[in-house]
Amino acid sequence: MGKYIFVTGGVCSSLGKGLAAASIAKLLEGNLLNIRLIKIDPYINVDAGTMNPYQHGEVYVTDDGAETDLDLGNYARFTNCPLSRDNSITTGQIYQEIIKKEREGRFLGRTVQVIPHITDEIKQRIRRVGDEDGVDVTIIEIGGTVGDIESVPFLEAARQFIHDVGKANVVYIHLTLVPTVSNGELKTKPTQHSVKELLEIGIQPDILLCRAEEPLNDKLKQKISLFTNVSEEAVFSAYNVPSTIYEVPLIFAQQKIDRIILTKLNITSKATNKKIKQWQNLVHSYISASKSVKIGIVGKYLELHDSYKSIFEALVHGGMKNNARVELVKIDSEAIENKKDISDVFEKVQGILVPGGFGQRGIEGMICASHYARTHNLPYFGICLGMQVMVIEYARNVLALFGANSTEFEQQTTHPVISLLEEQQNIKALGGSMRLGRSPSFIQNGSKLNAIYKKPKIYERHRHRYEVANNYRDSLIAAGLIISATTVNRELVEAVEWDNHCWGIGVQFHPEFISKPDIPHPLFAHFIGACLGNV
């Protein structure tokens, strides 16, 4: 029978449940266990696809095209767990399925209720992942905080797992806050109240992760243990790491959290310590790197770091590959739109990256950044919208197609070099209607892209609606823009490059989604290398 770990949170959101779940999974994988991860989001949205990045951070896309919470990105970066739409559960999905079944008469006239129908559907979706062949442990992160009305059905389903599979097969981990007050004292009362709320639902946590600015001393652990009925050895410090999030598994390993989990689940350890040692060497190498590089991120959602989470982390991975620390210089694209001279903005960065996005705001600033990089021979990496910006800038300033634009930003533009495909023209439902998920691209021989990937066919994930207009493709090529990758039969443009430039590449896909610290995506590794002057 499979084993299940439920990770819940208390006091406030954004304490790091996703990082904690991913770090625990990393350690369990180090014990040679086959792990699966599930993220539950209590919002009524069916998925994260239509949500504002300022509210919920980036949208992480899986191979099968699911638009999910950013925590699945953490799972992917820290572990080898396969991820698909089955690993993301929302309230919207659950109720949508239950209402569909009710309309079809599949409940045989019974009154449809939260218990048992909603909770049964939740459990069925969790078991669908946990019952896969060879899976040892499934970790389920329940979003939000204990006490939120939206989370109640999911917590109730988690409670019922004890009765369904037995207490020996379930562990409850609760992440809570131990804040520091003005005199520097750590206070345990919020943790006590958080556990009390969890107990009122019927869940006694087995393990506490105490989020604090510094490690807890033995006296505080004893106090927390006494008031929460959690054994002292199962009270762990989840304190602030000094340099990088990739240190989190290491501080958990030092406290032997995986030993406690395996004991509670009655699993014999198969640990070799080899994997965690490799991770430790990787992290320490990055922290102690003597080189550093500044990358200018020209975007429109920069006020919330999580809006570009996967891109920021992939840049760090590229730094790890080049034994260099990466400093992110966030540049608001809207703020540079009307500047006559932007050289002061970019003179201290070694490269520019323009990420994806939607809507007209800040686009002209991105076009200015692309123009500056092209004309000043500064390494430039355009991702999705960042590639489209390259095409618009090239059309305006090299082809002299004044007013060239995307129909996303100017429907009546005289030169729509970026536009919708014909089959996209009349789509009204925005959710799930873009080109989503993993698909092949074919690389042109002799291109920089070919030298980086070292193969003619690649598979990358997409999340976009607008494309380079094919009726402008020949003119762009004739003017010197390199079309370095296309879809099957050269139907759509997948990547472009600047000729006679140190490193100017734009891709329509999202390479950041498959980058890991120990396996950096080659595009990010090569881009950072170019910024350091290594390629």
| Shared domain check, 209 and 278 | yes
Is 510 noted as a catalytic residue in this protein? yes
Which positions ≥6 away from 65 have C-beta within 8 Å?
A: 85, 432, 436, 437, 438
Exactly one of 408, 512, 521, 531 is catalytic; name it.
512
Taking the CA atoms of residue 192, residue 195, residue 197 and residue 200 in that order, the dihedral angle to the nearest 10 degrees is: -120
| Shared domain check, 382 and 524 | yes
| Shared domain check, 454 and 415 | yes
| Shared domain check, 303 and 266 | no
| Shared domain check, 214 and 344 | no
The pLDDT score that the predictor gives to residue 432 is 54
> Helix (H, G, I), strand (E, B), or coil: what is residue 332?
strand
Containing structural domain, residue 176: 3-283
User: What is the DSSP code (8-state) at residue 492?
Assistant: S
Last residue of a domain, one of 230, 253, 283: 283
The pLDDT score that the predictor gives to residue 304 is 85
Mean pLDDT by runs of 10 across the 535 residues of the chain is 93 89 96 96 92 87 96 96 97 96 92 95 96 95 93 96 95 96 88 95 96 93 96 96 94 95 90 81 93 96 91 97 96 91 93 92 94 97 97 96 93 93 56 82 96 96 94 95 93 95 97 97 98 81
Please report, for the domain that includes residue 327, its CATH number.
3.40.50.880
The pLDDT score that the predictor gives to residue 535 is 57
| Shared domain check, 257 and 168 | yes
Exactly one of 81, 210, 368, 384 is catalytic; name it.
384
> Helix (H, G, I), strand (E, B), or coil: what is residue 61?
strand
The pLDDT score that the predictor gives to residue 431 is 57
Q: Of 533, 436, 532, 452, give the one whose Cα is nearest residue 495.
A: 452
The pLDDT score that the predictor gives to residue 428 is 52
The pLDDT score that the predictor gives to residue 249 is 96
Beta strands in 100-187 (DSSP E): 137-142, 170-177
C-alpha 237, offset from chain centre: 25
Is 384 noted as a catalytic residue in this protein? yes
| Shared domain check, 267 and 332 | no
| Shared domain check, 297 and 243 | no
| Shared domain check, 231 and 315 | no
Exactly one of 371, 462, 501, 510 is catalytic; name it.
510
Is 193 noted as a catalytic residue in this protein? no
Please report, for the domain that includes residue 103, its CATH number.
3.40.50.300
Q: Give the whole-angstrom CA distance, residue 72 versus residue 81.
A: 10
Pairing mode, strands 481-486 and 493-498: antiparallel
How many CB atoms sit inside 10 A of residue 271's CB? Answer: 17
Last residue of a domain, one of 219, 252, 283: 283
How many helices (H) and strands (E) the chain has is answered by 18, 21
| Shared domain check, 298 and 248 | no
| Shared domain check, 337 and 367 | yes
| Shared domain check, 347 and 206 | no
How many distinct structural domains can be found in the chain? 2
Q: Of 298, 322, 321, give the one whose Cα is nearest residue 311.
A: 298
Last residue of a domain, one of 233, 251, 283: 283
